[in-house]
Amino acid sequence: MDRNLKALIIGSTGGIGRELVKELLKSNQWSEVHVIVRRELEAWSKLSYEQKNKLVIHKVDGLEILRDQTKLPKFQGLNAIFCTLGAEQKDGKENFIKVDKEFPLLSADLAIQNNIPQYHIVTSQMSDKSSMFLYLKIKGEVEYELSQKGFQYLGIYRPGLLLQREQPRLIERLCSYIPFIKKVDVQNIAVTMRKQAEKNIQFTQNKTEYFENNEIINISQNKN
């Protein structure tokens, strides 16, 4: 059954974001998939006619535009925002905090201002706002601050090592060969995010759910 659902993806050109765009476009549950990007992906030019009509591209100079949301179109009527942003720490502490904390929280404010009931975000396994490690600390701080915003439904996805990126990071390539490290394909994350959004679309009370690595895999592989 078609449900005419509408979403905005923040981070649609990254590894998980690309998969999530594809996942929503091929689902008959979603009629509009909005993305905010500096550049369009070549893959989007090869979409089917139906999928091109579902994809709504908002081109901007950068996500700094989230700091002044009067410059953005109104996103009222959307059902969910998905945030799949993630910076590399090698790009510097300031940029990491901007991409992994400031932009997600600004996009959450965008959701609230437009009465968008659901917010979904990818963080990391072992996220902890009290961690001594910057990466895990920032991820944990974002989780906590989002949980205080009062979304009808908040989905927090905590994957392990990401596999099957188009451009895997060096540490991911190295660790992918270590058997005891928890891993997950980016497609598994995208599938689980879509499923949880669809499952909770009628939820009207404040609810926060956390999905660890193994649960992400199990949900994505479940045929129900």
Distance CA 52, CA 55 (A): 5
* 102 close to 64: Cβ distance less than 8 angstroms: no
The catalytic position among 6, 139, 183, 195 is 139
User: Considering only CA atoms, which of 143, 157, 167 is closest in space to residue 213?
Assistant: 157
User: Considering only CA atoms, which of 33, 1, 4 is closest in space to residue 193?
Assistant: 33
User: Considering only CA atoms, which of 146, 3, 151 is closest in space to residue 85?
Assistant: 146
Catalytic annotation present for 139 = yes
The catalytic position among 22, 98, 135, 137 is 135
* 188 close to 196: Cβ distance less than 8 angstroms: no
Residues 6+ apart with CB under 8 A from 17: 9, 10, 11, 82, 84
Q: If residue 8 lies in a helix (H) or strand (E), which one and from where to where?
A: strand 5-10
Residue 115, sorted as left (phi over 0), alpha (psi -120 to 50) or beta, turns out to be left
Catalytic annotation present for 144 = no
* 184 close to 216: Cβ distance less than 8 angstroms: yes
* Residues involved in catalysis: 135, 139
